[in-house]
Amino acid sequence: MERRTFLKRLSGGILLVSALPLWSRCKGVPLRFGIVTDSHYADRDTLTTRYYRDSFAKMQEAVDRFNRSHLDFIIELGDLKDKAPDNDPAAALQFLDRIESVLQSFDGPVYHVLGNHDEDCIGKEDFLAHVTNPGGCNGKKWYAFSCKGVRCIVLDANFNADLSDYDRGNFNWKSAWLPSEELEWLDRELSAHPRMQTLVFIHQLLDSFSDIPSSVCVNNAQEAVAILERHPQVRAVFQGHHHAGHYSWRGGIHYWTMKGMIEKAYPEHNSYAVVEMRPDGSLFIEGFHDCPSGNLPCL
């Protein structure tokens, strides 16, 4: 969706802010976090619009900005690294270690979401062993944490139709599933924190009800969306995977898909953002370079 259309569609909901019940409003200062997705870093030659090597400098610029922006945390939405042309797992882990070192230069907590390319020639356990999430979130495929009274939920849809994990390229990227165990956990998690405004982070898209191609969506997304819509504290879902970006909303929930960092050459192009969740529950996205800015009002 073009930036002009994105902002125009959002503006219609701004008057709904005052209609929110008091329990849904944040207390204290706004939550602020940095967000990136689809850096696909690898030491390999450019392929069409994907500038693999440039993602290192792009990520450095993003983290430098984040370190000057007084943020509570940063989160990457998957496909942090890519693979070598010969599918060498050792090379992929080197790419991962290098781009992770840039992320960890942020002066604060860093969170990760699993993407399909994070398992293109290594396994999930390999990936998780080479990245660091804070505290009890470390080493987990899906997890939740709280910050400034806001609950943040990280999901993993990198499962095959038989609900086996994506592993060393043994998957079809157009077939992504959330297992029943994870969906049940999601429902319990939301039920346990009904008064905490909630943000959801995932790699593949959940808004299959929109005009987005089904190939980039979670195959059983409707099950997850039904759970989210039963819990009115859910404010927004942040997604990656679809490098062009996208926006939709339904049931009072924003679905914001971020543009991929890897696309096009640096320094002319990059994509990252700072998100601020305000005390009234609305969000403001300050996008940089190719990432659009916009308001996500309470709907």
What value does the mean pLDDT take over residues 1-14?
A: 39
Of the pLDDT bands very low, low, confident and very high (cuts 50, 70, 90), residue 97 is: very high
pLDDT at 125 over 60: yes
Q: What per-residue confidence (pLDDT) applies to 17?
A: 31
Structure tokens at 97: 């270690």
Q: What per-residue confidence (pLDDT) applies to 228?
A: 98
pLDDT at 50 over 70: yes
Of the pLDDT bands very low, low, confident and very high (cuts 50, 70, 90), residue 28 is: low
Q: What per-residue confidence (pLDDT) applies to 27?
A: 54
What value does the mean pLDDT take over residues 213-228?
A: 98
Q: What per-residue confidence (pLDDT) applies to 10?
A: 43
Of the pLDDT bands very low, low, confident and very high (cuts 50, 70, 90), residue 220 is: very high
Q: What per-residue confidence (pLDDT) applies to 298?
A: 85
Pairing of strands 198-202, 143-147: unpaired
- For residue range 126-153, what is the model confidence (pLDDT) as tens digits? 999 999 999 999 999 999 999 999 999 9
pLDDT at 18 over 80: no
Of the pLDDT bands very low, low, confident and very high (cuts 50, 70, 90), residue 279 is: confident
What value does the mean pLDDT take over residues 174-183?
A: 98
Q: What per-residue confidence (pLDDT) applies to 299?
A: 73
Of the pLDDT bands very low, low, confident and very high (cuts 50, 70, 90), residue 11 is: very low
pLDDT at 21 over 50: no
- For residue range 231-268, what is the model confidence (pLDDT) as tens digits? 999 999 999 999 999 999 999 999 999 999 999 999 99
- For residue range 203-216, what is the model confidence (pLDDT) as tens digits? 999 999 999 999 99
Domains and CATH numbers, the chain: 32-294 (3.60.21.10)
